[in-house]
Structure 1
Amino acid sequence: MYYAYHNFLEDLKVLKQKVEEKIGIPDAIVCIARGGMTMSHMLGLAWNIRAVYSLNAISYSDTKVQSSLIIENMPCIRKEHKKIIILDEIVDSGVSLSEVVHKLSTNFQHATFYTATIFQKNTAKIKADFFIREPNEWVDFFWETDLLEDNK
Structure 2
Amino acid sequence: MSPSSPKAFPVSWDQFHRDARALAWRLAAAGPFEAIVCITRGGLVPAAIVARELDVRLIESVCVASYHDYVTQGELRVLKDISPSIKALGDGTGKGVLVVDDLTDTGKTARIVRDMLPNAHFAAVYAKPAGRPVIDTFVTEVSQDTWIYFPWDMGLTYQAPINENSAG
Residue in 1 that maps onto 2:152: 143
By how many angstroms is 1:120 displaced? 0.9
Corresponding residue to 1:71 among 78, 82, 89? 78
Residue in 2 that maps onto 1:20: 28
Distance 1:125 1:45 in 2: 25
Higher radius of gyration, 1 or 2 = 2
On the 8 A contact 1:98/1:126 being kept in 2, the answer is no
Distance 1:88 1:15 in 2: 11
With over 3 angstroms needed to count, the CA separation of the structure-2 counterparts of 1:59 and 1:80, relative to structure 1, is: closer
On the 8 A contact 2:31/2:96 being kept in 1, the answer is no
By how many angstroms is 1:80 displaced? 5.3
On the 8 A contact 1:95/1:125 being kept in 2, the answer is no
Alpha-carbon displacement from aligned partner over 1:52-92 (angstroms, at most 9, x marks no partner): 00011111122410100011211223445640110011111
On the 8 A contact 2:12/2:151 being kept in 1, the answer is yes
Question: Stretches of 4+ moved more than 6 A in 1?
Answer: none
- SS of the counterpart of 2:137? coil
Structure 2 unpaired stretches of 5+: 1-8, 158-168
With over 3 angstroms needed to count, the CA separation of the structure-2 counterparts of 1:63 and 1:74, relative to structure 1, is: closer
Structure 1 unpaired stretches of 5+: 106-111
Corresponding residue to 1:97 among 82, 99, 110? 110
Report the residue type matching 2:131 in the other structure.
A
* Number of equivalent positions: 141
Corresponding residue to 2:98 among 85, 88, 109? 85
TM-score by length of 1: 0.83
Identity of aligned residues (%): 23
- SS of the counterpart of 1:96? helix
Corresponding residue to 2:141 among 115, 130, 134? 134
Distance 1:47 1:20 in 2: 7
Residue in 2 that maps onto 1:109: none
TM-score by length of 2: 0.76
Alpha-carbon displacement from aligned partner over 1:78-123 (angstroms, at most 9, x marks no partner): 4456401100111111111011111233xxxxxx301000111112
Report the residue type matching 1:114 in the other structure.
H
Alpha-carbon displacement from aligned partner over 1:110-152 (angstroms, at most 9, x marks no partner): xx30100011111237331000111231001002224xx69xx
